[in-house]
Amino acid sequence: MKHQRLTGAICATGLALLIAGSANAAGINYTTNSPLTKFTSGVNSLTLSSVSGQAATLTFTPNTVSNSGVPSNINLGDFLLVCSTCTVSQTTTFGSFTFDLVVTDITDGGAQGVFTGTSSGGTVSSDSSTINITFGPVSFGPGTFNALSGNFGDTIFSKLSPVTSIVAPNSGTPAGDSTVQAQLSSTTPEPASFVLFGCALAGLGLMRGKLVSR
Give the per-residue pLDDT at 14.
Answer: 43
> Which residue stretches of the chain have pLDDT < 50?
2-3, 5-7, 9-25, 140-149, 192-212
Are 85 and 99 contacting, i.e. CB atoms less than 8 angstroms apart? Answer: no
CA 7 to chain centroid: 40
- Backbone torsions φ then ψ of 40, nearest 5 degrees: -110, -15
- Supply the Cα-derived Rg of the chain in whole angstroms: 24
Round to whole Å and give the CA distance between 52 and 173.
Answer: 26
Q: Which long-range contacts (CB under 8 A, 24 or more apart) does 5-9 make?
A: 6/202, 6/205, 6/206, 7/199, 7/202, 7/203, 7/205, 7/206
Give the per-residue pLDDT at 186.
Answer: 85
Please name the residue ranges forming H helices in the chain.
2-25, 191-213
Instruction: Name residue 66's beta-bridge partners.
Output: 30
Round to whole Å and give the CA distance between 164 and 119.
Answer: 10
Coil/strand/helix, residue 71 = coil
Instruction: Name residue 118's beta-bridge partners.
Output: 98, 134
Give the per-residue pLDDT at 191.
Answer: 52
User: Any idea what the Cα angle at residue 174 is, between residues 56 and 166, rounded to 5°?
Assistant: 55
